A and B are shown apart, each in its own frame.
Chain A
Amino acid sequence: MEKTIAGKTVNVNEEGYLTDFSQWTKEVGEELAKEQGIQLTPRHWEVIDYVQDKHKKDEALSVRGIKKSGVFDVKEFYDLFPGGPLKKATLIAGIPKPKSCI
């Protein structure tokens, strides 16, 4: 389905995740964050860069992986994206949430 955000029309799935990463812009990211009640700071942007980089390399995302990366402290990750940090960070970053096959 289509959604208009930050003056742009993007395709999203039923849960609001972008289905085409090429439609993502920083402005779209900021608006998506606001919808989650999050005001993005430079530290948020570092997380977004990190998860987008993982996505581009087709590498799996996990909270433990983030701990191992040494880039972020897990507690900080939870503080930045309260609730489900991976779910929210990926939504804002315009990439699919980590999922299983079904």
Chain B
Amino acid sequence: MKNLVILGAGTSGTIMANHLVSKLDKKDWSITIVDQYETHYYQPGFLFMPFDIYKPSQVVKKGQKFIPKGVNYIVKEVELIVPEKNKIALADGEELPYDILIVATGSKTAPQETEGLIGPNWYKNIFDFYTYEGSKALREKLRNWEGGKLVVHITEMPIKCPVAPLEFAFLADAFFKDKNMRDKVDITYVTPLSGAFTTAEATKVLQYLLEEKNIKVVSDFNIERVDQENNKIIDYAETEVPYDLLVTVPTNMGDELIERSGMGDDLNFIPTNKETLQAEAHENVFVIGDATNVPTSKAGSVAHFEAEILMENVLAYAHNKPFKEKFDGHSNCFIETGGGKALLIDFNYEHEPVEGTFPIPGIGPLQLLKESRMNHMGKLAFRWVYWNMLLKGVPIPMVPSKMTTKGKKYKTQ
């Protein structure tokens, strides 16, 4: 009997368990999935909770519900991965040997990485919305906030769902307009990148959104520290941005387990072959989702597309066959722009997001890189798709794991 172990029962790990349980021969393979927490969060919902669009109960479920029968589900903390010995050491001393390991330990916020961020005002007038706790606390704050300078801030790249902070700024604009207090709120978007939009195409077609919503942008801002006493953030070039309410996206890092096991880069992300999803350092270790260092977005859609490729590659490896499938970096995201509208983007390692139609080339019904109500409906419908299709590994109709260039308006270089 051989063992396949999956570490992490988040989006990626859960999808892989569902894919593999029906594909690996039960006579030869035992599948085990380990996660330290019992709860599975619908993380895209954290964006909506602060604005009372989603209730906390809509984004939380028991993880077990999504783990298929025939997979051993262990809720325990992992102490160490020992790739040289092909085994996992659990915190309680138990050991799990493996023939194939899939690391799906994700990424999480690391506010302690920024000087002065964790302090007396953390969750008083400084919040994150990338955690369940932060998003919920911010909801309470926004219900009674009387206005002032709202600063939406990104610490450093890469972050999970890179457009979420911008969506937050858009939704905040709509939220305060609805409350008839937009004139009392000054919204500033602060980014370490060269602008709110960083590709030429998006800048050209989306810049109007910032003007229309009166969102100021401070770019190339590399935060050095938070001055909680004087309510301002300060960057290495001594630029200061004052705030009354700071909504920050802290540094995102891979799990400490990866650091303890000596398998990660500076940010605890695992160097991973971007096409095969095999760990660079160990041939029987595969990595999926936010835990990798592959140069595409850290997002659920990416995990979903990667999972289809990884399933084929794990099966090939299990049967001593060469890899046939290559991940192309495909990512597909809805971007809320507020007021019941959203954008949709579809891109991969090679192709940046452009305008076009999706998923049926030339028809749609969804429009790429353009605001529409239909895209917003798609985004809201996605919560159902996530719980009922995506986690279970059910293919999304007409959305293949590899991106198509059809129906997209690429400029010839």
Chain A positions within 8 Å of B, measured between CB atoms, are 1, 11, 13-15, 19, 57-65, 68-69, 74-75, 78, 83-84, 86-87, 97-102
**30 pairs, A vs B, C-beta closer than 8 Å:** A13-B200, A15-B200, A57-B265, A58-B294, A58-B295, A60-B267, A60-B295, A62-B222, A63-B192, A63-B222, A63-B236, A64-B113, A64-B251, A68-B266, A74-B236, A86-B192, A98-B193, A98-B194, A99-B199, A100-B162, A100-B198, A101-B162, A101-B345, A101-B352, A101-B353, A102-B163, A102-B197, A102-B199, A102-B206, A102-B335
Q: Is the CB of A102 within 8 A of B198?
A: yes
Partner of A84, one of B113, B194, B345, B413: B194
> Would B413 and A11 count as touching, CB distance under 8 A?
yes
The answer, yes or no, to whether B202 is at the interface (CB within 8 Å) is yes
On B, residues with C-beta under 8 Å from A are: 113, 155-158, 162-163, 192-194, 197-200, 202, 206, 219-220, 222-224, 236-237, 251, 265-267, 271, 274, 293-295, 297, 331, 333, 335, 345, 347, 352-353, 369, 413
Which residues of chain A have C-beta atoms less than 8 A from B331's C-beta?
101
Query: Whose C-beta in chain A lies nearest to the C-beta of B165?
Result: A100
Q: Are A97 and B198 interface neighbours, CB within 8 A?
A: yes
A99 and B224 alpha carbons, distance in the complex (Å): 20
Instruction: Tell me the bound Cα distance from A14 to B194 in angstroms.
Output: 14
Q: Is the CB of B293 within 8 A of A58?
A: yes
Contact A78 B236 (CB under 8 A): yes
7 tightest Cβ-Cβ pairs between the two chains A and B: A99-B198, A63-B222, A102-B202, A62-B156, A84-B220, A100-B162, A14-B200
* Shortest distance from the beta carbon of B319 to any chain A beta carbon, whole Å: 29
Q: Which residues of A contact B222 (CB under 8 A)?
A: 62-64, 74, 86
Kindly list chain B residues whose C-beta atoms are within 8 Å of the C-beta of A75.
236
C-alpha gap A60/B294 in the complex (Å): 9
B266, A98: Cβ atoms under 8 Å? Answer: no
